[in-house]
């Protein structure tokens, strides 16, 4: 459910005409709907009202400060994977006591930063990591709260690049070895064992793999408790999918139901790290048609490209193409492509779409998650603007980058200057 709809044939974000925004901001730009973000957060949060829980929005999906603040101001915590995400979360006003930190490669400076700020939990992903954190915490005179992120070896039935809870993935530690590693971690003087964590993959469209994961985590929690290891938090990660095309993912209530069955008597606080389900359908990418090429194969060339939205290129993902102004008349089968010098630069392939003409505005739907946050400046294309609509007003929440931004930080060594 989102608030991007056509009214009299023209696309609106809430009460704002997308055409009017494009006139003022230029194209391409990401457009997010505040009402949709709030609705998604509240629906997700309310689904778990029977369990003690904390919703830590996964910043990697979309780390714009205004988006982070939207969730933080509703009581949300943040799931981070880097020092940069910690910085962004704190800048947006996150309570460090609601920040959880996953990731297979935390550097010493990042661990130190997170310890200094007093985050809730480090989700450790290797044998060495708790030892490294213990050492750093010792030098700082603090105790570090940790969980081990276990890999329960479950097939989440999603794209292989975003399946994370199978043995062949780099993430987490083998659940079979977890008890002995917890026993060892418990003996480290500068750690406190806070919980268990697990994240099996992203864009999951069935409850089965989640149920399996929580069942395995539950068995582990019971074993750990039998060994005298207290577990206060169970972090089940993110991963709930959304509809891009014809997927029918469980809604947050069904997802919660699957988890609550196994979780309700565990006497711990559950942490969830949703990303895509909160922001995915709350954002669109607005682009303008530059040229059309008709022939054996048809192409619609637009001013957004794979550097702005890499999901179709990287995962072969489907993003719905919607004309900002509905046009009557014929349709055509075409590829929607960008200006980048690669044949892999496409936003849609062999898609039935209106017979677009140069100047038309197009909305690429479901682009709020892993859109801007995965964008780059490849081909020296400045990153696009981001806009947030709230009812009838729209707000620029990130300026379009300039050419000067492209070379910020670059240095020409003096030998090249002929000095």
Displacement of CA 203 from its chain's centroid (Å): 10
Q: 247-256: b or e for each residue (b if 16 or more CB lie within 10 Å)?
A: eebbebeebb
DSSP symbol at 211: H
Tell me the torsion sign for CA atoms 300, 306, 309, 311.
positive
Min dist. Cβ of residue 150 to ligand LLP (A): 12
Span near ligand LLP by CB under 6 A; candidates 139-147, 325-333, 334-342, 368-376: 368-376
Stretch that binds ligand LLP, among 105-113, 235-243, 348-356, 378-386 (CB under 6 A): 235-243
Alpha carbons within 13 angstroms on the beta-carbon side of residue 151 total 21
Report the nearest approach of ligand LLP to the CB of residue 310 (Å): 8
Q: Which residues contact 11 (CB under 8 A, 6 or more apart)?
A: 4, 5, 17, 18, 19, 322, 323, 324, 325, 363
**Choice from 62, 202, 262, 313 touching ligand LLP (CB under 6 A):** 202
The dihedral built from the CA positions of residue 58, 61, 63 and 66, taken in this order, carries a sign that is: negative
Q: Determine which residue in the list 110, 273, 308, 386 makes contact with ligand LLP, applying CB under 6 A.
A: 273
Task: Determine the interface stretch with ligand LLP among 106-114, 179-187, 236-244, 327-335 (rule: CB under 6 A).
Answer: 236-244
Interface with ligand LLP, residue 45, by CB under 6 A: no
d(CA 8, CA 325): 9
90 or 236, CB closer to ligand LLP?
Answer: 236
What Cα–Cα distance (Å) separates residue 265 from each residue in 218, 259, 273, 372?
Answer: 10, 11, 21, 40
For ligand LLP, the binding residue among 2, 98, 106, 199 (CB under 6 A) is 199
CB of 171 to ligand LLP, least distance (A): 7
How many C-beta atoms lie closer than 10 Å to residue 294's C-beta? 11
Minimum distance from residue 31 beta carbon to ligand LLP (Å): 18
Is the separation of the CB atoms in 78 and 105 below 8 Å? no
Q: Which residue, 316 or 358, has its beta carbon nearer to ligand LLP?
A: 316
**Interface segment toward ligand LLP; rule CB under 6 A; list 15-23, 267-275, 336-344, 382-390:** 267-275
Our CB check for ligand LLP shows the closer of 79 and 212 to be: 79
Distance CA 181, CA 173 (A): 9
Residue with smaller CB distance to ligand LLP, 25 or 80: 80
**Cβ-defined contacts of 251-259 (< 8 Å, 24+):** 251/43, 252/43, 252/44, 252/47, 252/277, 253/47, 254/207, 255/47, 255/207, 255/210, 256/47, 256/48, 256/50, 256/51, 257/207, 258/207, 258/210, 258/211, 258/214, 259/48, 259/51, 259/210, 259/211, 259/214
Nearer to ligand LLP, 241 or 323 (CB): 241
For the bound state, the minimum distance from the C-beta of residue 60 to ligand LLP, rounded and expressed in Å, comes to 6
Residues in region 48-77 near ligand LLP by CB under 6 A: 58, 60-61
> Which one of the spans 84-92, 360-368, 369-377, 389-397 is the region binding ligand LLP (CB under 6 A)?
369-377
**341 an active-site residue?**
yes
Size of the site for ligand LLP (CB under 6 A): 24
239 is a site residue for ligand LLP (CB under 6 A): yes
Residues 300-359 that bind ligand LLP (CB under 6 A): 311, 315
Choosing from 77, 130, 165, 238, the residue that interacts with ligand LLP (CB under 6 A) is 238
173 is a contact residue toward ligand LLP (CB under 6 A): no
Residue ranges of the alpha helices (H) in 155-291? 178-186, 208-226, 252-263, 276-279
Closest distance of CB 318 from ligand LLP, Å: 12
Q: How far apart are CA 303 and CA 291, in angstroms?
A: 9
Q: With contact defined as beta carbons under 8 Å apart, do 32 and 389 qualify?
A: yes
- Please give the positions annotated as active site: 341
Binding residues for ligand LLP (CB under 6 A): 58, 60-61, 79, 102, 162, 164, 199, 202-203, 237-240, 273-277, 311, 315, 369-370, 374
């Amino acid at each position: 459910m989102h608030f991007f709809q056509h009214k009299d044939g023209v696309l609106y974000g809430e009460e704002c005409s997308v055409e009017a925004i494009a006139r003022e901001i230029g194209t391409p730009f990401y457009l997010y709907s505040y009402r949709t973000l709030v609705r998604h957060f509240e629906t997700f949060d309310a689904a778990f009202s029977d369990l003690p829980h904390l919703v830590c929005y996964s910043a990697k999906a979309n780390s714009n400060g205004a988006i982070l603040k939207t969730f933080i101001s509703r009581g949300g915590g943040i799931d981070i994977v880097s020092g940069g995400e910690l910085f962004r979360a704190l800048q947006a006003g996150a309570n460090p006591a609601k920040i959880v930190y996953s990731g297979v490669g935390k550097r010493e400076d990042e661990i130190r930063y997170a310890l200094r700020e007093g985050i809730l939990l480090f989700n450790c992903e290797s044998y060495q990591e708790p030892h490294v954190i213990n050492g750093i915490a010792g030098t700082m005179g603090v105790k570090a709260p940790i969980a081990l992120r276990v890999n329960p070896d479950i097939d989440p039935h999603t794209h292989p690049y975003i399946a994370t809870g199978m043995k062949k993935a780099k993430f987490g530690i083998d659940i079979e070895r977890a008890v002995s590693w917890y026993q060892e971690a418990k003996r480290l003087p500068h750690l406190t064992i806070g919980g268990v964590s697990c994240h099996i993959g992203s864009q999951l469209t069935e409850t089965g793999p989640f149920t399996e994961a929580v069942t395995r985590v539950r068995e582990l929690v019971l074993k750990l408790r039998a060994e005298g290891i207290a577990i206060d938090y169970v972090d089940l990660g993110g991963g709930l999918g959304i509809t891009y095309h014809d997927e029918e993912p469980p809604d947050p209530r069904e997802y919660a139901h699957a988890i609550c069955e196994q979780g309700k008597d565990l006497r711990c606080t559950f942490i969830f790290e949703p990303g895509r389900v909160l922001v995915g359908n709350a954002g669109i990418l607005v682009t303008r048609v530059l040229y059309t090429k008709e022939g054996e194969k048809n192409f619609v060339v637009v001013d957004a490209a794979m550097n702005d939205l890499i999901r179709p290129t990287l995962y072969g993902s489907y993003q719905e193409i919607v004309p900002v102004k509905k046009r009557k008349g014929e349709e055509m089968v075409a590829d929607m492509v960008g200006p980048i010098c690669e044949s892999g630069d496409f936003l849609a392939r062999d898609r039935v779409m209106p017979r677009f003409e140069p100047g038309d505005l197009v909305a690429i739907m479901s682009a709020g998650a892993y859109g801007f946050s995965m964008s780059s400046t490849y081909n020296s294309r400045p990153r696009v603007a981001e806009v947030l609509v709230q009812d009838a007003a729209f707000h620029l929440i990130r300026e379009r980058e300039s050419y000067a931004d492209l070379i910020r930080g670059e240095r020409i060594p003096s030998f090249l200057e002929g000095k």
